[in-house]
Amino acid sequence: MRPNIDLNNTAMHNFNSLDTYNNTIRMKRTTRKEENMDMTKLSDQSKEFNKVLFALNNVPNVREDKINEIKNRIENDTYNISSKDLANKILDYLL
């Protein structure tokens, strides 16, 4: 004996399942597109940040000219510091 299967209900069920699946795929694609858009914005910001960071890293954090001047004065024995100025700087640093 054959089971009584209503083909219309089975076909409708399969169609609804397929429709649900397709909607899910569309939603995932839309979400991916939105994520990609966000990633592009972050990528642009990241590129700008990297440019600024690179520029900052290439700026010397010491004044080479001042250092060379002091080195030359020390080598030539012409570098003199007032003991009073030195004491004041030490106190300023400690306090």
In a domain, 2, yes or no: no
pTM score above 0.75: no
* Phi, psi of 82, rounded to the nearest 5 degrees: -70, 130
Q: Which of 52-56, 61-65, 84-88 has the lowest mean pLDDT?
A: 61-65
Per-residue model confidence as pLDDT tens digits over 2-31: 555 554 555 445 555 656 766 777 766 665
* Mean per-residue pLDDT over the chain, rounded: 75
DSSP state of 5: -
Q: How much is the pLDDT for 9?
A: 53
Taking the CA atoms of the chain, what radius of gyration do you get in angstroms?
37
In a domain, 32, yes or no: yes
In a domain, 88, yes or no: yes
In a domain, 79, yes or no: yes
Task: Give the total number of structural domains in the chain.
Answer: 1
In a domain, 1, yes or no: no
Residues 70/79, Cβ–Cβ less than 8 Å: yes
**Which secondary-structure segment (H or E) carries 15?**
helix 7-57
